[in-house]
Amino acid sequence: MYTIVLDTNIILDSLKFKVDLLEELKRICNFKYDIKILDKTLKELENKPNGKLALKFIKQKNIKLINTTKRLYVDDLLLQLDKSHIIATNDKDLKQKLKNHPIITLRQKKYLIIQNVL
């Protein structure tokens, strides 16, 4: 089973472009998975445009938290996750750093694609 970890920007972009994130994940993932976010992502969302809406989405969909103890930025924590974690992000720099890691990204502001999954 994989764990899909949502980054801040994929949540915000899916809301902004009205993409049903959970339905798109069902469409592209033909394997068992859990959806989670890092606890630090909640902090990032508090100060963003549409952040309150994103926090409401997380609560409504009962997305579970990964509690972290290290004092690192969200991107640095995501980079430390093993390959059983699929990172869902639209962050260009982070995607380059994760080039051999499984990732999910939003394309054409309409749909998700998955890359590098074994």
> All domains of the chain, ordered by start, with CATH?
2-115 (3.40.50.1010)
Calculate mean pLDDT across residues 13-18.
Answer: 95
- Confidence class for position 47, pLDDT limits 50, 70, 90: confident
CA 115 remoteness from chain centre = 14
- Confidence class for position 118, pLDDT limits 50, 70, 90: low
Q: Contact 4/25 with Cβ under 8 angstroms?
A: yes
Calculate mean pLDDT across residues 4-18.
Answer: 95
Write the burial class of residue 36 (CB in 10 Å: 0-12 exposed, 13-18 middle, 19+ buried). Answer: middle
DSSP 23: H
In the chain the first and final C-alpha atoms are separated, in Å, by 12
pTM of the entire structure?
A: 0.93
Calculate mean pLDDT across residues 17-37.
Answer: 95
Calculate mean pLDDT across residues 24-43.
Answer: 94
Q: Contact 25/104 with Cβ under 8 angstroms?
A: yes
Beta-bridged to residue 35, according to DSSP, are 4
